[in-house]
Amino acid sequence: MDYIKDLTQIVGEKNVKTDEIERLCYSRDLSVHEAVPDVIAFAKTTEEVSKMMSLAQRGKIPVTPRGSGTSAVGSALAAKGGILLDLSRMNRILEIDKENGYVVVEPGVICNQLNAAIAPTHFFPPDPGSANLASLGGMVSTNASGNRALKYGTTKNYVLGLEVVLSDGRIINTGSVLGKTSSGYDLTQLFTQAEGTLGVITRIILRILPVPEYIAFAEARFPSTLDAGKAVREILTSGIALSSCEILDKVTIDVVNKAMGLNIPDHVGCLLFIEIDGNKKAVQENIEKINKICEANNGIENKWEDDPAKRLKMWAARQGVVASLSKVKRGSRMQSIMDDPGIPITKIPEAIMEINKISQKHRLPINTFGHIGDGNIHPIIISDPRNKEQWDTIKEVAKDLMELTIRLRGTLTAEHGTGMAKSPYIKKELGETLEVMKEIKKALDPNNILNPGKMGFDDSIKDIYENFAFLPLIERPGEIQPFGEALDNEIMACIMCGFCRAGCPTYTETSLESINARGRVILAYHLLTGRLKPSKELAERFYKCTTCLNCNAVCPAGVKVPDIIQAARLRLVEAGYLPPIHRTLMESIEAKGNPFGEAIEKRRDIYPTEFKPKEKATTLLFFGCVASYQDINVIPSTLKIMDKAKIDYTTLGTEEHCCGYISYLVGDQKEFEKCIKNNKHQFERRGFKEMVTTCAGCYRTFKDLYPKHDGSLGIPVYHTVEYLGKLITDGKLIFKNGAKMKVAYHDPCDIGRHMDIYDPPRNVIRAIPSVELIEFPQSRNLAKCCGGGGGMKAFDTDMSLEISYKRVQQVSGIGVDLIVSACPSCKSNLQLAAAKLRKEKKGKIKVMDITELVAEALA
């Protein structure tokens, strides 16, 4: 590839990736297809895109534009190799003009980021299910929509103008900031919905609207799809302007019911989710009309809500459909093929009944839901990607769904686009129109370099088996190198939606798919199939992870990504690829009982000189290595609290040994098992009745990991926050009225997302009279990581600090005096970040462990 050097000169060496590991991570999306680019290039300016296209034109090199990679049909996969042009770093909002009702943005801006920037007065109506991740460039290129399309239309209704780079590098501007123009051809609409086949969009002018005065939402229950369909038809033809109207058929209700525990009665055969907005009085009058229409069509009941928080909760059943479908049977996943047909509204009930017949004919479950108000439904197939017989059936199901859609005078894609998945079928719908489209394509892209292999422009995609992502599973099952049934099923369950990017701290720092949960699952998949072998380069991707579990918290399918990463690390260690820094830590634990290589005797240095540990006691205080060697306050503060409460306790002092958590995290199973054996012997010999630990990692290890590795301690294990709560409730701790302060609590990942402990620390803080608890903008299960977990602080110290710095910045401007955590490791990293903040004169926030806060507040 002679052009790589020229490409590097255009965007810089750091913005060009040619290694196989990275390229594989950009080869997937929600579709069943896979296409590996030859090179990935990250552009930041229109000029760079222009130079890149000129280079590609000269060399006839394929170029595939990509935003967030959330396509359900393979629109942004490099079907013909070449350059994958990543536009995610062109992510600036350039102009907001609320008075004239428009914004100017770059294509990498995320939909929800735009809405956050123009709230609370305005909004951008298109709301795809991936709004938290979907790039506006991708939405324009596919004419994306969502729940509100019924009233507000699709993305194309809001595109006022575009800046586009053509295949030869020329830059053109279409449209204007005005809502109307009759100057020349409407090229704005030509490039909209073109899926990057005619030009690369580098700037977008979008129309925005004022937020409606009042919004009401209803869950409407019906005995059958036919009854619900009649009600919808009557509501819409009566002149009532619904903003949303969603449908779930009986098959989908049963799945969602089971997965989410919604307790929807069995006699409910269909659900409608109805939303209406506008003038409050007019909305309330329309609600009465809707209720009467539903009742006249055998409606069982309508549950209305106008409180925003409660409306979101009621929406959960609709928004949770994808998650629920992915949880039907672990190892199976939803398959996006013929998944978004548009059907005339009056024929929706018929369509759903015919889809059920197709399902019965092929003996394959099809769950149907979607936007009934505008005729856009989603028949979703669930299957095991390893089952060749099911794939052969799916191929026939896709044809049947296509023929049904055409027969009902519908469209094969109402919002997802054509991409690769629908290319084999699109000519059936478009006919001679496709030939005209090819002529337009040839005029603007004579060398066919812009996103080739899409939209049916050639015959390279004949059926689902072309560029098939799961081919190794069904053609070469003997070459599969399994991680074990449970973990293999987790890998298969990942639908490649990319939602995990929204919460991943390492992706935020790198903007690379390989340093993100989706990318790591892809790499684990290729370890499974044998395409990738353990290597130093692969180890770098799997060890650049804090194992914070944020990916799991935002994953629609609830995929246990940290477990997959853990399995990959184990395989890497077995192959001899434990990173050198982690090998040093393991050697230190083996020799000194702690990962820092400190002398065993130094564990006592921080203890008060008068403290003498008892041989026998009811309660064992276990402090862990960080509190023992790298902190001067946690141990004295905890001892003070226990003395004040008159607890019969002791510590192990110099006999305390690492719990082994870091050994587990880095994949050194042998060292972890040694730690389990050593600690179990110590605890059993001393006969403790309970254990209290100040360390979040130690807590998870003793409470969760030891039992999973046949190392149950047989005694209750408490984290300090739980134990402090008991002492306060029992009246054993009394607090004084001190100086007022505002405290923000940082949720450690190890006791938060991993162990579901959120309220106990907050209850402790609220019990202190002088303290006002302030929540981080992202807290509890969505709390951002401190950057120090998973062995990350040792592996990449700089990135670890940057992650922590961003966390501290979240509360630097809202009057917080103190950040409190319940993990010495979090405290250590947050202190470094707070020091950096003070050095840059951006704030004076202090950081404490919760034991310090409590000890200082004692009367």
**Predicted confidence (pLDDT) per residue in 783-794, tens digit:** 999 999 999 999
Distance CA 555, CA 157 (A): 30
Please indicate whether residue 532 or residue 682 has the higher confidence score (pLDDT): 532
User: Averaged over 759-774, what is the pLDDT?
Assistant: 95
Whether residue 681 is predicted with pLDDT greater than 80 in this model: the reply is yes
pLDDT at 129: 84
User: Averaged over 625-649, what is the pLDDT?
Assistant: 95
DSSP secondary structure of 795-817: H-HHHHHHHHHHHHHTTTTTT--
Whether residue 319 is predicted with pLDDT greater than 80 in this model: the reply is no
Helix (H) or strand (E) holding 664: helix 661-666
User: Averaged over 378-406, what is the pLDDT?
Assistant: 93
Among the residues of 157-279, which ranges form H helices? 187-191, 225-237, 250-260
Distance CA 66, CA 71 (A): 10
Per-residue pLDDT of 493-536, as tens digits, reads 998 989 898 889 999 999 999 999 999 999 999 999 999 999 99
Number of helices followed by number of strands (H, E) in the chain: 36, 26
Whether residue 738 is predicted with pLDDT greater than 90 in this model: the reply is no
pLDDT at 814: 86
Whether residue 721 is predicted with pLDDT greater than 70 in this model: the reply is yes
Evaluated on CA atoms 355, 361, 366, 367, the torsion sign reads positive
User: Averaged over 611-617, what is the pLDDT?
Assistant: 86
- From the number of C-beta atoms within 10 Å of its C-beta (0-12, 13-18, 19+), residue 109 rates as buried
Per-residue pLDDT of 795-817, as tens digits, reads 999 999 999 999 999 998 888 99
617: its two tokens: 């006691």
Of the pLDDT bands very low, low, confident and very high (cuts 50, 70, 90), residue 752 is very high
Query: Beta strand pairing status for 214-222 and 270-278?
Result: antiparallel
Per-residue pLDDT of 120-146, as tens digits, reads 999 999 998 888 899 999 999 999 998
Distance CA 548, CA 700 (A): 13
User: Averaged over 662-687, what is the pLDDT?
Assistant: 93
Distance CA 372, CA 384 (A): 28
Q: Could you list the beta-strand ranges (E) of 18-91.
A: 39-42, 63-66, 83-86
Q: Radius of gyration (Cα) for the chain, nearest Å? A: 29
**Closest-CA residue to 551 (of 510, 509, 523, 521):** 521
Evaluated on CA atoms 834, 836, 841, 842, the torsion sign reads negative
DSSP secondary structure of 740-804: -EEEEEP--TTTTTTT---HHHHHHHHTSTTEEEEE-SS-GGGPPP-S-TTTHHHH-HHHHHHHH
pLDDT at 323: 67
Distance CA 292, CA 585 (A): 70
Q: In angstroms, what CA-CA distances link 803 with 792, 793, 818?
A: 11, 10, 19
632: its two tokens: 């001067």
Whether residue 317 is predicted with pLDDT greater than 80 in this model: the reply is no
Whether residue 592 is predicted with pLDDT greater than 80 in this model: the reply is yes
User: Averaged over 721-748, what is the pLDDT?
Assistant: 93
Residue 276 pairs in a beta bridge with 216
Please indicate whether residue 615 or residue 676 has the higher confidence score (pLDDT): 676
With beta carbons less than 8 A apart as the criterion, state whether 63 and 451 touch: yes
**Closest-CA residue to 84 (of 122, 126, 34):** 34
**Longest pairwise C-alpha distance within the chain:** 92
SS3 651: strand
Q: Which residues have C-beta within 8 Å of that of residue 718, sequence separation ≥ 6? A: 690, 691, 692, 693, 699, 726
With beta carbons less than 8 A apart as the criterion, state whether 643 and 635 touch: no
Per-residue pLDDT of 842-859, as tens digits, reads 778 999 999 999 999 998
With beta carbons less than 8 A apart as the criterion, state whether 39 and 17 touch: yes
Please indicate whether residue 190 or residue 609 has the higher confidence score (pLDDT): 190
Distance CA 73, CA 338 (A): 9
Q: CA neighbours within 13 Å on the CB side: how many for 775?
A: 11
pLDDT at 432: 95
Q: What are phi and psi of 756, to 5 degrees?
A: 60, 40
> Of all residues in the chain, what percent carry a pLDDT higher than 90?
81
Per-residue pLDDT of 85-115, as tens digits, reads 999 999 999 999 999 999 999 999 999 999 9
- Taken in order of first residue, the domains within the chain and their CATH numbers are 1-210+417-462 (3.30.465.10), 214-416 (3.40.462.10), 476-577 (1.10.1060.10), 603-726 (3.40.50.1860), 736-857 (3.40.50)
Q: How far is CA 653 from the centre of its chain?
A: 42
